[in-house]
Amino acid sequence: MTVLFVGVSHAATSLAAIERLGFTPARAAASYERIPHECIAHECITPGDRARALPLRELVIVSTCDRVELYAVAADDVTRPSVALDAMSRLLLERGTDGHLADLDGQVRRLVGTEATRHLFRVAAGLESIVLGESEVLAQVSSALAQSLRFGAAGPVLSPLFESAARVGKRARAETAIATAPASVGSIAGELAAELADDLRGRRALFVGDGKLGRVAAAALCSHGFWEISLIGAGDGDGAEPATGVGVSAVSLVQADRLARAIAESDLVFTSASSLPVDAATVRQAMRGRAARPLVVIDLSAGNALDSAVSEVAGVRVVGSAELRERIDLAIAGRRREAPLVETIVEEELRTVQTRAEGSSLSAVVASLRARAEEIRQREVARAVAALPDADSAVRRQLEWLSVSLVNKLLDEPTRRLRAEVSHGQTNPYVDVPRELVGLPTERSDRPPA
């Protein structure tokens, strides 16, 4: 069966638009429930359900902050995939066709067969990510498959395909260095802070603002040793979120009106929320009474959360977006050098999937060919026996043996040659030609997934 792909990503679509199109768990569940069951053909569902049903046999939805992608197999793989692709596009865009997203249809990418499979493998390997080689997408791909399986929407084509994609991602990260160097703002900031630790008197860090950057930086920081971390959130109750699951040694929540005191008690400050800015006056107040104790401020917000005058306060070192970007660029350059190795892994696994699928197609053709021959053999033997009413059991056994022997000998050489052509990568024409010559039916399961 042919794999179909419809999706948008950061490469051609704004992150704001992607967020609008994103599939919540509830929306994904509702979409999976529209995959028709076999009973549709037997008129056992209501006309309303039939109208809502998607013309798909399988579906997996990958929805992240930088991409929304649908992978599917058409319900009727014999016809052109355009009907299924159109339905997938409508499903993707059904929440985003209003207002400024009205022209989003032109940004939707559609791929079929091998190109769809290659794209999935590249996504899992981190080659399509905003940050080249990032590892988070691999878990997202696996999670997407798991959710689809819970609703029975992934089947014999997409399940092994996504498992192969996971293998591609694991190989890329185990066999190359594409994910070794930190290459995001949060991870770079955490690594830099660890390097500066020896210049600081203690290991007390303060995160001003909440969100993903803070979580990533906190996790990176704690991976380099013990840190006592305090948090000031941008809103009520928000401060606890960045610490969740990052292995923080000690966490305390600080009220925003105590910002100066919290900074005074810290050795390292991260700023990330424009709704909770840190100004020079607050930092000057915090620096009183610290004697010669230095303070490092790392701005994760590209200047949106930190007053530029803070860098002029005595005893304060500010690490801004320019320094972080320089480190990121160096890391990305190193990852780009690894990209060709990852591309090789993608192509290797793609060939493996194609060979496996084509071998399955060939087996189906051989089975159909032999089934057709057996049907003809039995019919002709029965006709011969009917024409020899006086034939005894020995003659009938001889006719049976002769017909079986003839069929086996006639099919032995074609079968052997068909199997040989698979190893030479010439499967497709050798799958189609026997069907055309002998008039075998086209089975959906005979078509390779890529």
CATH number of the domain bearing residue 66: 3.30.460.30
- 140 and 196 assigned to the same domain: no
Q: Are residues 108 and 150 in the same domain?
A: yes
Last residue of a domain, one of 324, 351, 384: 324
Identify whether 342 is part of a domain. no
163, 181, 199 — which closes off a domain?
Answer: 181
Contacts of 405 (CB under 8 A, 6+ apart): none
Residues in the chain with pLDDT values less than 50: 38-47, 97, 99-100, 235-251, 443-448
Claim to verify: residue 127 and residue 255 sit in the same structural domain = no
Q: Alpha helices of 231-320 — where are they, by DSSP H?
A: 259-264, 280-287
Strand partners for 184? none
Domain shared by 133 and 59, yes or no: yes
Please tell me whether residues 74 and 13 are part of one structural domain: yes
Please report whether residue 420 resides in a domain.
yes
Tell me whether residue 332 is in a domain.
Answer: no
Q: Is 266 helix (H, G, I), strand (E, B) or coil?
A: coil
Asked whether residue 318 falls in the same domain as residue 371, the answer is: no
Query: Which tokens in the block code for residue 35?
Result: 């995959």
Terminal Cα-to-Cα distance of the chain (whole angstroms): 8
Q: Do both 12 and 111 map to the same domain?
A: yes
What's the mean per-residue pLDDT of the chain? 79
281 and 376 in one domain?
no
Indicate if 16 and 59 belong to the same structural domain.
yes
**Per-residue model confidence (pLDDT) at position 51:** 60
CB 180 within 8 A of CB 242: no
Number of domains observed in the structure of the chain: 3
pLDDT tens for residues 180-218? 766 666 677 777 777 776 666 667 888 887 666 666 677
Q: Can you name the residues that pair with 7 across neighbouring β-strands?
A: 69, 109
Segment 274-303, tens digit of pLDDT: 667 888 998 998 898 777 788 888 887 776
What residue numbers bound the domain in which 88 lies?
3-181
Residue 16 domain flag: yes
- Encoded tokens for 437: 């010559």
341 falls within a domain: no
What CATH number did the domain enclosing 237 receive? 3.40.50.720
* Nearest alpha-carbon partner for 282 in 226, 208, 195, 389: 208
- Beta carbons within 10 angstroms of residue 326's beta carbon: 11
User: Final residue of a domain: which of 181, 212, 237?
Assistant: 181
Burial call 34-45: b when 16+ CB within 10 Å, e when fewer: ebbeeeeeeeee
Same domain, 170 and 206: no
**Is the domain of 48 the same as that of 86?**
yes
Which of 190, 188, 182, 232 has its CA nearest to residue 211? 232
Confirm whether 348 is domain-assigned.
no
| pLDDT in the model for residue 445 | 41
In a domain, 377, yes or no: yes
Does residue 145 sit in the same domain as residue 10?
A: yes
Residue 93 resides in a domain: yes
